[in-house]
Chain A
Amino acid sequence: MLVAVPLPVVIVSVVVFNLILPPPAQFNKGLTFEPPFLNAILYTVFLAFTSYMVGYISFKSYLQNGWPFLVLLGSGALAWGSTSLLSGWLTNLPGGPNPAITISNTGALVASIFHFVSSTWSRGPSPRTDLKIRKSIIILAYGSVLGFTALYSVAALEGMTPLFFVPGVGQTVLRMAVLGSAAALFAVSSILFARRYFASRSRSRTLYWYFLALGLTGVGLAAVFFGRAPGDPISWTGRAAMFLGGTYFLKAVHTAFKGTNVG
């Protein structure tokens, strides 16, 4: 149960910071901390790497078992990891943080949709599909996610996507809608997986860590939603929650490898 403690801690911290920090219009830039490359490294290690591990094991698992929800799970992880990787390295562009925020938030929404659908999916049909067909399906799914990420990133860098963040003004309504939806869908997915965990006779440690990871990611995104500016205390609280969520994703993969799956 101790590993679930960060969830309420993050929520309380965001509420407290939200009360004590000045509103966006009067926010002092001196309260932000955004050194070059720190974000990039943290995003790469805690979000991209961990998500790719989830993508890898979901890939192997789908080939072996053929259950469609594994494709959704892996695609969601891949979308989250890839957009996090790109946005992390694009944060400190001379033109401002808008492209990075656009890529990151859209990726979060795509990932949350995949996870939400996956969490509502039943076990699915009997895995009678041929291995070659399964391989084609998952390669097509992963390829589409990576292709979309690449194209969308180019569009964001070229200024072909709607604005998500305006320096000195703050986030746009679009960003609020995208980020809010992503946070809500991650949170709902977490709750649905948690229900599945508590309802099952064989309570899997893998599922336990995974629904906590999704919960932390959802709460982290919600925290970013309330942030005054990139790098402010609320943003860092949200990022810390997402990084911890990444660690929990990795722990979920680890429990599957370790074989001590049932808690």
Chain B
Amino acid sequence: MTAPSSKAGAAGFDHLFSSRMEECLRVKTGIVELDEMLGGGFMPRDAVMVAGAAGTGKTTLAIQYLVNGVGLGEPGIYVTFEELPDQIYRDAKNFGWDLRKIEDEGKFRVVCTSPSLMLESGDGSLLDDVLKDVQPRRLVIDSLSHLEMFVKKEDMRMEAYRLVSYLKTRGISSVLLWESPQISGSSFSVTDAGLSFLVDCIVALKPVEIESSMRKALVILKMRGSDHDKRLREYDITSQGIAVSRPFSNYEGLMTGSPRRSYTEEAASNWARAFAKNK
């Protein structure tokens, strides 16, 4: 009688052990609530797309991901087609991130280049030297939208595929930023260029208008090979970077741009608040 139960116990332990191991292997963003949504973090070597309209905090999220990675012993590279390094250092400083310091320590690098140079190198080999130098585990491309301006629409998918493959084969977990005004209204596509299929995970950032004020919503649209939180969560850009808070549980239709209160969720919220102390 004891043998089956001990087997079951061993199986349970194995399962617990493997799930803990898997959690340890995840690439943590360092934003606790976002990591919870991702089941511990991004999957190793995954290509992640962070999509959102201008001003939603894509760059902030990306730099926070790299800075937190350095804290976890994972060097990172930030490739930008948009801003000059000084501007990036200054903006990061406002969030308390001293990029120059970690760059001097050899754990981080800002690469400011043009999309045309990147494309001329073919598969991203423009980065070979800096990759050898920094040995990064994480890399951010800010942004694919800029790359798109230099490529014919029909070629964009192939160029993005080359870049993603280049980073994956080097064991790098990449974050690709994409300016995506389409995640609004009734149309719901992340990119026109069909890039959604190339990436393993999509994190969408979206401004939403609720009761005449603009708030920000974050949702994980896709995550290959892993379960994840499907709920829309509110987030804010604070003086310490991105802070993810509670789900928008009282509202429906946020993604379609027509939010309305969910009566049951609203009632459930009222119910809890009615009985809670310290009001």
Q: A residues touching B (Cβ–Cβ < 8 Å)?
A: 57-58, 60-65, 67, 69-70, 73, 118, 122-123, 130-131, 193, 196, 200-202, 204-207, 210, 252-253, 255-257, 259, 261
Contact = CB atoms under 8 A, between A and B. Distances in A.
A61 B278 contact: no
A70 B275 contact: yes
Given A64-B249, A201-B279, A57 B274 contact: no
B interface, how many residues as a size bin? 20 to 34
B269 interface: yes
A62 B264 CA distance: 13
B267 A257 contact: yes
25 contacts: A57-B267, A60-B264, A60-B268, A61-B269, A63-B268, A64-B249, A64-B269, A64-B272, A65-B269, A69-B276, A70-B272, A70-B275, A122-B277, A123-B276, A123-B277, A131-B231, A196-B275, A200-B279, A201-B279, A206-B271, A207-B274, A252-B274, A257-B264, A257-B266, A257-B270
A259 B279 contact: no
Nearest to A128: B36
A150 to B, nearest CB: 27
Contacts of A252: 274
A207 B265 contact: no
A74 to B, nearest CB: 10
A204 B249 CA distance: 21
A140 to B, nearest CB: 18
A131 B263 CA distance: 20
Interface of B: 36, 229, 231, 249, 263-279
A129 B273 CA distance: 18
Q: Kindly name the residue among B229, B269, B279 whose own CB sees the greatest number of chain A CB atoms within 10 A.
A: B279
Contacts, number: 78
Closest 6 CB pairs of A and B: A206-B274, A204-B274, A60-B268, A61-B268, A65-B272, A257-B267
Given A57-B268, A61-B268, A64-B265, 12 more contacts: A60-B271, A62-B272, A65-B272, A67-B272, A69-B275, A69-B276, A122-B278, A207-B275, A210-B274, A252-B274, A256-B271, A261-B270
B39 to A, nearest CB: 10
Given A256-B270, A259-B270, A60 B265 contact: yes
Contacts of B36: 130
A51 to B, nearest CB: 14
Nearest to A122: B277
A249 to B, nearest CB: 12
B279 A202 contact: yes
Contacts of B249: 64
A64 B276 CA distance: 14
Contact of A58 (B229, B263, B266, B271): B271
B20 to A, nearest CB: 15
Contacts of A58: 271
Nearest to A200: B279
A200 B275 CA distance: 10
B250 to A, nearest CB: 8
Contact of B270 (A62, A196, A206, A210): A206
Given A130-B36, A202-B279, A261 B268 contact: no
A256 B274 contact: yes
A123 B265 CA distance: 19
A253 B263 CA distance: 12
B267 A60 contact: yes
Contacts of B263: 257
A123 B278 contact: yes
A206 B274 CA distance: 6
Q: Which of B272, B274, B278, B279 neighbours the largest number of chain A CB atoms within 10 Å of its CB?
A: B274
A73 B278 CA distance: 18
A201 B279 CA distance: 7
Nearest to B246: A127
A45 B231 CA distance: 36
A170 B88 CA distance: 84
A70 B279 CA distance: 16
Nearest to A65: B272
A69 B276 CA distance: 9
B273 to A, nearest CB: 7
A259 B266 contact: yes
B183 to A, nearest CB: 24
A196 B276 CA distance: 9
Nearest to B264: A60
Contact of A57 (B229, B231, B271, B276): B271
Contacts of B273: 204, 261
A32 B36 CA distance: 61
B144 to A, nearest CB: 32
Contacts of A70: 271-272, 275
Contacts of B278: 122-123
